Structure 1
Amino acid sequence: MGVDKISLINKQEIEEVTTFLKKFDLKYDKNIDYTVIIRDNNKIIATASKEKNIVKCFAIDSSCQGEGLSTQLLTNIINKMFDEGFLNSKVFTKIENQELFRGMGYREIAHTDKVILMEMGNKSILKVLEKIKTNYNIDTNEKRAMLVMNCNPFTLGHQFLIEKVASENKEVLVFVVEEDRSIFPFKVRYELVKKGTTHLKNVKVIPGTDYLISSATFPNYFLKREDDHLAEYTKLDATICGEKFGKILNIDRRYVGDEPNCKVTNHYNEMLKNTLPKFGIEVIVIPRKKIDGKIISASYVRELLKSKNFEELKTLVPTTTFDFLTSSEGKEIGEKLRMQVSPC
């Protein structure tokens, strides 16, 4: 029995894999870029997929476990990642699969009672956090607060929240979501946050890494999807925040803006409030800034950019953001908005 690659444009093959995965309470992810299967008597008995450097949709028929199929599948997937230049890989899997992946060289990042996130390769979460400590001159003898923000784009609402946190804490770390799945690229979002907070000397703006709100830890965030996996994704992301970021960077507070409009983000905030206190981190919810009784939201700012309503847009964003939005690069993003539906 050999490993076969399936065609991602062949609907029949995709449907066959999807049906097989349903037996394991798994869903075939639309962002997958590579899938392999093993057949016996023309029926799928094992499969694994990947999205960039993340192993996904790994499943082996119970009657065939212990026959070395997992090694065949994962070796093929890992070699494909290596060919594409990925020297680090992650896997989000059920807790009962952890020993299988440990045997392949994977190390645990964090786990819940149901799922585990593991990684293998030339970097680790501990190395990344130590590098952050060095690069941003973080004195871990001092307590500090943190925020995790997407800022798509950076608004007066975001600025108000950071200013509020800065006024209540000696030092604040603002992690900007690094995953590039928003209409505004990470590099743009990161620069806008930095420029919009230069007046706050106790604020450090840091790339969010691929360990906070990423496609490995919390894909629902980008899909804005409520499903039966949402609880585990949010719990895992919150656990990584508390167990690793909180402990290593000596964080004792995490602030979030309240979220009356988006159910996925609201669920995430609730999970943070339930999980982070276990790691000694207080979760503080700040009411969102309003202008004329209306909440400032990045989604509304994007709508104004889409409709070229720069007059109202100017009242909702810092000057640094407005200058970007009216630049050639900003107007180009506006054109993209007019051609597609943007996530909430």
Structure 2
Amino acid sequence: MLGLQIQEVNLNNENEVREVIEYLSAFHLRFEKDIDYTILVKDNNKIIGTCSKSGSILKAFAVDSEYQGQGVSSYMVSFMLDEMFNKGIHHSFVFTKKDNREIFKSIGFKVLFEAEGVTLLEHGIYDINDYLNKIIKKYNLDTTVPKAALVMNCNPFTLGHKYLIEKASEENKEVLVFIVEEDKSSFPFEERINLVREGTGHLNNVKVIEGGEYIISSATFPSYFLREEDDKLKAYTEIDSGIFAEYFCKKLNIVRRYVGKEPYCSVTSAYNSALKHILSGGGIELIEIERLENKDGYISASNVRRLLKDNKLQEAYNMIPKATWEFLNSNKGKEIMENLKATDSPH
């Protein structure tokens, strides 16, 4: 636009990042740690707008009120979409306040789902129905058969995960296990999904499927515009379970979703409670299964990671399936354990 300049922000420059943080604070927005690209729009060196992205997700979007309605928003988002396209990202999302949804719709975004205070839109060469049709074809799914489903991260795959899948397998004709695809975990996605496939190969009615972009991880849910923790959890739960009920369940004929009961984490417990309420509204049953435990308590991926981080591989033996044990003793597995000693990740 005439007179306006777009400036790419050097995210390694503390002063430039601080400038963005200060600008966003006027809109009660936060600059999240996973942002990998940011632009500013300036009018005679005055910042009048900003937009960022993390992977395929647009976020931290703001425009001065006096410039709204003048095409600045469209100019900025179009620039971001071009930049993403040049980097090979041909499909994108934006989580935004409902007040901003018309801005994005005007430049080709489609509303995917709306929760209280939050709208999720998508843009690109395919949409969620294309994705689900691809899944149906790839895994030869018979959509006339009612199914059960589980959504798991498996960081790493434990006997607890295996137990939940086996319970679902016993109680249902067909079971779909969706593995969260976002690589925000200690164990990379390819290793996680392969371990689940190896560890459940004996279950003929179970199919392990990549979660894709539509199984939203709580680790990647953008909450930069939600100020209260309760609001973040509520919005994430509504969007995550709402998309699952509205699209996955209807298209794939999923009538049950299985989760493990949460004895320790109040956030996960609240999530399960909200999930049950939302899914039931769509006629989908939420089945909560008591978690598997051994002499040391409940088996969980976080406990396994803690042992690995403390260099106690042998103590983790009774918490993991054979496939996971063999992987941890491989070169790749040993490399991950070394990285764990330096840091840890959620789920």
Fold match by TM threshold 0.5: yes
Per the TM alignment, residue 30 of structure 1 is displaced from its structure 2 partner at its CA by 1.2
Per-residue deviation, residues 135-189 of structure 1 (Å, max 9, x unmatched)? 1111111111100000001110001111111111111100011111101000000
- Residue 205 of structure 1 corresponds to 208
Distance in 1, matches of 2:237 and 2:164, equals 22
Q: Is the 8 A contact 2:74 2:104 kept in 1?
A: no
Answer yes or no: is 1:315 the counterpart of 2:315.
no
Distance in 2, matches of 1:219 and 1:63, equals 26
Extract unaligned runs of 5+ from structure 2.
none
- Residue 45 of structure 1 corresponds to 48
Name the TM-score, length of structure 2 as normaliser. 0.92
Q: What is the correspondence of 1:219-238 to structure 2 with a 5 Å cutoff?
A: 219=222, 226=229, 228-238=231-241
Q: What is the correspondence of 1:11-30 to structure 2 with a 5 Å cutoff?
A: 11-30=14-33
Structure 1 range deviating more: 149-158 or 34-43: 34-43
Q: Is the 8 A contact 2:259 2:286 kept in 1?
A: yes
Q: What is the correspondence of 1:186-265 to structure 2 with a 5 Å cutoff?
A: 186-214=189-217, 218-219=221-222, 226=229, 228-265=231-268
Distance in 2, matches of 1:75 and 1:325, equals 45
Distance in 2, matches of 1:342 and 1:259, equals 19
Distance in 2, matches of 1:217 and 1:327, equals 29
Give the AA of the match of 1:115.
V
Change in Cα spacing, 1:216 to 1:84, as seen in structure 2 (3 Å) is farther
Q: How many residues align?
A: 340
Change in Cα spacing, 1:4 to 1:114, as seen in structure 2 (3 Å) is same
Q: 1:88 aligns with which of 87, 91, 99?
A: 91
Q: What is the correspondence of 1:102-141 to structure 2 with a 5 Å cutoff?
A: 102-141=105-144
Distance in 1, matches of 2:222 and 2:29, equals 14
Answer yes or no: is 1:273 the counterpart of 2:270.
no
Per-residue deviation, residues 5-56 of structure 1 (Å, max 9, x unmatched)? 2221232332232232233332111111111112345432211111122111
- Residue 332 of structure 1 corresponds to 335
Give the AA of the match of 1:311.
Q
Name the TM-score, length of structure 1 as normaliser. 0.93
Identity %, equivalent residues:
49
Give the AA of the match of 2:63.
I
Distance in 2, matches of 1:24 and 1:190, equals 40
Give the AA of the match of 1:241.
F
Change in Cα spacing, 1:56 to 1:215, as seen in structure 2 (3 Å) is farther
Structure 1 range deviating more: 15-24 or 167-176: 15-24
